[in-house]
């Protein structure tokens, strides 16, 4: 880590170099040399050559940074639409890279070409060109239209109502944790009523709604089956949160008083993802740092995160996601208690009374 003393040495070195350069310039003037503000053709030629050298170094540096960091740009996509999202991201990056290469090359080349101008040459007065204006308006307009069309198409695929068979789930956010709820055998989520929220019923589930009796509520982690469509309903108890699952390329705001949704199909189990080379490398690097601190080793898991700054403990608002093979998922879900079997008789009685009073 760079200390204050190191920074002081660096700053003093820069100041010393600047003063030495100034002393050299003054000494040159005293010897009868040219004034420092006078630019000669030799200066122009030198600057022109240095521009092309800088151009080459700049491009080599950019490609070097890309190749050493490309494995860290995005984690492996673990859902069907995640692969589509990555393709769209790469498509955008290709366009941006091509434009950046062309424009930066022109920038350096023109500097190289016109730095070599003769002393008495003047620039050509070029007030306007309708043809050029048309080109640099129409071409970017077409490119942006294509990008926006593909982006909206992908977004609508993710957020439109799920088609065919799907597992219905709800992710319920509050400061500062998550609760997951499965729809149960009837695949219908029971009602939530904010008036029913208590310490014993933190989601405000309505015991008078028969559709909610077979719902399954889990904390700390939830499981998903590989290859099965999962239809998420999202809600919030207090402030705006954001359900963010980076490996699945899924994110949606959780807004109090309304329900938002998205769906995706997981494609890689947690066990298979743990064998991914980039995951193995990142886990090994993390465990080296944890070992230095005397902390237990880290094991990869998919994560549900909050991507809205929702308060002081926002950083701690996460939940593990376990993607299983369908058979393992069915075995896990069959062991979970339903809302009807886990809710106490006293809670049911009190909540039923509240529901009746508010009808």
What is the CATH number for 329? Answer: 2.60.40.420
Distance CA 50, CA 66 (A): 24
Which is more confidently placed, 162 or 306? 306
Give the pLDDT confidence of 248-268 residue by residue, as tens digits.
999 999 999 889 999 999 999
Confirm whether 76 is domain-assigned.
no
Q: How confident is the model at residue 182 (pLDDT cuts 50, 70, 90)?
A: very high
What's the Cα-to-Cα distance from 172 to each of 191, 229, 348, 349, 355, rounded to whole Å? 13, 19, 21, 24, 21
pLDDT in tens, 72-91: 788 889 999 999 999 999 99
* Residue partners of 140: CB distance under 8 A and separation at least 6: none
**How far, in Å, CA of 83 to CA of 249, rounded?**
9
Distances, alpha carbon 21 to alpha carbons 9, 17, 41, 132, in Å? 18, 6, 21, 44
Query: What is the residue range of 17's domain?
Result: 8-38
- The pLDDT value recorded for residue 146 is 92
Bridge partners, residue 263, by sequence: 231
Does 23 score more than 90 pLDDT?
no
Residue 269: C-alpha distances to residues 247, 280, 301, 322 (Å): 11, 15, 10, 8
- Can you tell me the distance from the alpha carbon of 225 to that of 346, in angstroms, rounded to the nearest whole number? 35
- Total count of domains within the chain: 2
Q: What is the mean pLDDT of residues 284-313?
A: 88
Query: Around Cβ 201, how many Cβ atoms within 10 Å?
Result: 21
**Distance in angstroms (rounded) separating the CA atoms of residues 339 and 350:** 15
β-strand pairing of 167-174 with 230-236:
parallel
Would residue 156 count as lying in a domain? no
Quickly state the pLDDT bin for 188 (edges 50, 70, 90): confident
Mean pLDDT value across the chain: 85
State mean pLDDT over 130-147.
89
Q: Indicate whether 31 and 171 sit together in one domain.
A: no
**pLDDT 10s digits, 301-327:** 999 999 999 888 999 999 999 999 999
In a domain, 202, yes or no: yes
Residue at 143 is within a domain:
no
Q: What percent of the chain has pLDDT over 90?
A: 40
Nearest by Cα to 181 from 356, 359, 342, 358: 342
């Amino acid at each position: 880590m760079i200390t204050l003393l190191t920074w002081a040495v660096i700053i003093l070195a820069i100041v010393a170099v600047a003063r030495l350069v100034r002393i050299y310039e003054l000494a040159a003037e005293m010897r009868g040399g040219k004034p420092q503000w006078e630019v000669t053709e030799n200066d122009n030629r030198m600057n022109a050559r240095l521009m092309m050298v800088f151009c080459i170094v700049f491009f080599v540096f950019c490609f070097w940074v890309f190749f050493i960091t490309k494995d860290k740009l995005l984690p492996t996509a673990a859902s069907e639409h995640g692969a589509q999202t990555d393709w769209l991201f790469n498509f955008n990056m290709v366009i941006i890279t091509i434009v950046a290469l062309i424009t930066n090359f022109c920038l350096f080349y023109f500097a190289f070409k016109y730095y070599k101008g003769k002393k008495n040459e003047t620039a050509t007065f070029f007030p306007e060109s309708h043809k050029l204006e048309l080109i640099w308006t129409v071409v970017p307009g077409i490119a942006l239209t294509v990008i926006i069309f593909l982006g909206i198409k992908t977004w609508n695929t993710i957020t439109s109502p799920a088609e065919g068979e799907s597992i219905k789930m709800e992710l319920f956010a509050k400061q500062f944790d998550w609760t997951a709820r499965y729809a149960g055998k009837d695949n219908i989520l029971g009602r939530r009523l904010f008036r029913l929220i208590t310490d014993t019923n933190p989601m405000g589930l309505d015991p008078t709604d028969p559709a909610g009796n077979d719902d399954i509520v889990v904390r700390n982690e939830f499981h998903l089956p590989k290859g099965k469509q999962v239809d998420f309903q999202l809600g919030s108890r207090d402030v705006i949160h954001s359900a963010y699952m980076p490996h699945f390329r899924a994110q949606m705001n959780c807004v109090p008083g309304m329900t938002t949704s998205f769906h995706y199909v997981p494609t890689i189990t947690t066990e298979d993802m743990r064998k991914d080379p980039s995951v193995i490398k990142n886990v090994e690097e993390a465990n080296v740092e944890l070992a230095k601190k005397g902390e237990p080793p880290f094991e990869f898991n998919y994560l549900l995160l909050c991507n809205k700054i929702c308060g002081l403990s926002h950083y701690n608002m996460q939940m593990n996601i376990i993607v299983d093979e369908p058979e393992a998922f069915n075995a896990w879900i069959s062991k979970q208690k339903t809302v009807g079997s886990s809710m106490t008789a006293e809670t049911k009685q009190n909540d039923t009374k509240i529901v009746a009073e508010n009808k």
